[in-house]
Amino acid sequence: MAPWALLSPGVLVRTGHTVLTWGITLVLFLHDTELRQWEEQGQLLLPLTFLLLVLGSLLLYLAVSLMDPGYVNVQPQPQEALKEEQTAMVPPAIPLRRCRYCLVLQPLRARHCRECRRCVRRYDHHCPWMDNCVGERNHPLFVVYLALHLVVLLWGLYLAWWSGLRFFQPWGLWLRSSGLLFATFLLLSLFSLVASLLLASHLYLVASNTTTWEFISSHRIAYLRQRPSNPFDRGLTRNLAHFFCGWPSGSWETLWAEEEEEGSSPAV
């Protein structure tokens, strides 16, 4: 590995996230919080549970940030094979679009990410905090990560405020003894707010089977423009089952065509 590869944005972001995660955890253990009190009393179940949740959150973060989000295959194919694939898999009403950047035929709901320089299936967004796209393959893990991370943040927020911070005078002495814990509390408050908003927005999008990109840019997307409703919405239960379990299966092109036929059929 070249030395400059160690200074790439992805390595720096993931290292920063890891250091910040364990740094905040260490502050909560070193100050007089319930974590430290439980540890000193030999009650290790809750401190170990907290550490396991922090570790699980960090491992999920690394998994989402390092895995393939669903890149479209960039291997060149013969023109005849492309035509046969389009005829066999895609309804004629939906012409495949060739990406002007990487020149691959994009499946429905795919989009080119300029940061990753690849087309991503069921593209949701590019997450700068992970230096990776959130797409078809890692979007479910991303939602699970947000949920687990929010649990850890709220628990840490409770530990910092209710069992750690004790305000007293003189303020100079209090700042020297509790300033680091108070700064940790402010960070946890900010991260909890961001994680809560992200989790709520993604659960809403998952429930309606849409993506962040489609929700924001539906007026600019060819397959959504001039559509009265979301063609991929199968109802709450089926949307959740497909998102987290992959059931019921089926291509987005087929689903889009079925909805198109239902919408264009005359009322009886």
264 lies in some domain: no
What is the tally of structural domains in the chain?
1
C-alpha–C-alpha distance, residues 109 and 139, integer Å: 14
Encode pLDDT of 56-91 as tens digits: 999 999 999 999 999 998 765 555 444 444 444 455
63 lies in some domain: yes
76 lies in some domain: no
20 lies in some domain: yes
Encode pLDDT of 243-261 as tens digits: 999 888 778 887 777 766 6
C-alpha–C-alpha distance, residues 250 and 62, integer Å: 29
Close Cβ partners of 103 (under 8 Å, ≥ 6 residues apart): none
Do residues 38 and 44 make contact, with C-beta atoms less than 8 angstroms apart? yes
pTM above 0.95, yes or no: no
Q: What is the pLDDT of residue 119?
A: 96
240 lies in some domain: yes
Q: What residues act catalytically? A: 127
The parent domain of residue 190 ranges over 8-71+127-257
10-residue averages of pLDDT along the chain (268 residues): 65 95 94 88 93 98 97 67 47 72 92 95 96 97 98 95 73 77 92 98 97 94 85 93 88 76 52
27 lies in some domain: yes
